[in-house]
Amino acid sequence: MSITRNCVELLEAGSRYHVHYGDRLANHLPMVLIALDKLSAGPTELKHTFDRSTPHLQPRPGSPVQEITDITECRNRDDLFPSALHYYEQQLKHLGIAKCLQQELPKLLPAIATAAFHGLIRTAYGVDARHLEEIAMGLAYWNLDYHELTSRTETTPAIATAKEVIQRVTDKYPEIPLAPGNIADHMHSVTGQAGWMEATIQPRLLGLEDIAGVAIDAYLGTRDFTLLHGVTGCHALRLILPYCTDQEAALRYFWQGLVIAYLSTGPKTIQPVKSEVIKDIPQRQAEITEKALHSDDDHVIKLAYSALEEFHFYGNREYLQVFC
């Protein structure tokens, strides 16, 4: 098991709460517990997080469980959430993590950016923790809030980097009015812009590291809350990618979501990331960890965890600048 017994017990206690609350706000509690546990938080910090988070959460729907043969019938049906959760629990029980994800992810990938990537992120945290119930909850959340984004699928006619595509689409849409609602609403409003389906947003060549580089540069260059989810979402994508039978499709769908998320910010100008000489990398890592362990901000905790994990994987020191 890759998480502590204390974390497991709190995840089990928190499983009574729904995946979202209020006006479609994500329940971050299980993701934050896993992130803190991975950052070596002790029982006191984990319990504090649980106690401060639960008062605003809502119980999961308690409607009778139906046997589901077509999981797509549960999309956008809160009344069928218990049935969808049961479906995924059974798939995981009978198939195991790898085979279940290989079977179920293709149905969900077209909506990888749904709920500001939170279905993806919760699923990936469950995978990271090797916690079957959290994986089931993440998949059920992803399926519940299933909404596809639309865009042109053709790639750029000339070789263009992912970063260059961002600049081109910014030139085409230099100003997009902010739509009312939450991040998901803002993103869907982008796809209603004039000529959107004629805009080419897919580079001919696209790799995971290309996406990760754009995500961290866009966040550091804007410090925008929406684009923070690009960093945590890209970390989540890396965690589930080995289980995707069509990794190219997963990359393309995520890239589509990231481009649209960026445009939904206005789009804000991405300022060049100032190069910083980090003389003591272990010290900087420790500072990021300490900031997370002493924070009551769910997004600060998740960003710290993702930044450290992505730094370990890519070696890109820009991840060590997330709080500078």
Q: Quickly list DSSP for 245-300.
A: S-HHHHHHHHHHHHHHHHHTT-PPP-PPPPP---S-HHHHHHHHHHHHHT---HHH
- Which pLDDT score, from 0 to 100, does residue 276 have? 86
- Which pLDDT score, from 0 to 100, does residue 2 have? 86
Helix, strand, coil tally for the chain in percent (to 5): 65, 0, 35
- Which pLDDT score, from 0 to 100, does residue 178 have? 81
- Which pLDDT score, from 0 to 100, does residue 275 have? 83
- Which pLDDT score, from 0 to 100, does residue 112 have? 98
- Which pLDDT score, from 0 to 100, does residue 159 have? 79
User: Do residues 231 and 307 make contact, with C-beta atoms less than 8 angstroms apart?
Assistant: yes
Q: How many CB atoms lie within 10 A of CB 211?
A: 22
- Under-50 pLDDT residues of the chain: none
pTM: 0.97
Q: Which of 76, 252, 77, 265 is nearest to 189 (CA)?
A: 265
- Which pLDDT score, from 0 to 100, does residue 62 have? 82
Angstrom distance (rounded) from CA 234 to CA 120: 10
3-state SS class at 155: strand
- Which pLDDT score, from 0 to 100, does residue 100 have? 98
- Which pLDDT score, from 0 to 100, does residue 251 have? 98
- Which pLDDT score, from 0 to 100, does residue 109 have? 98
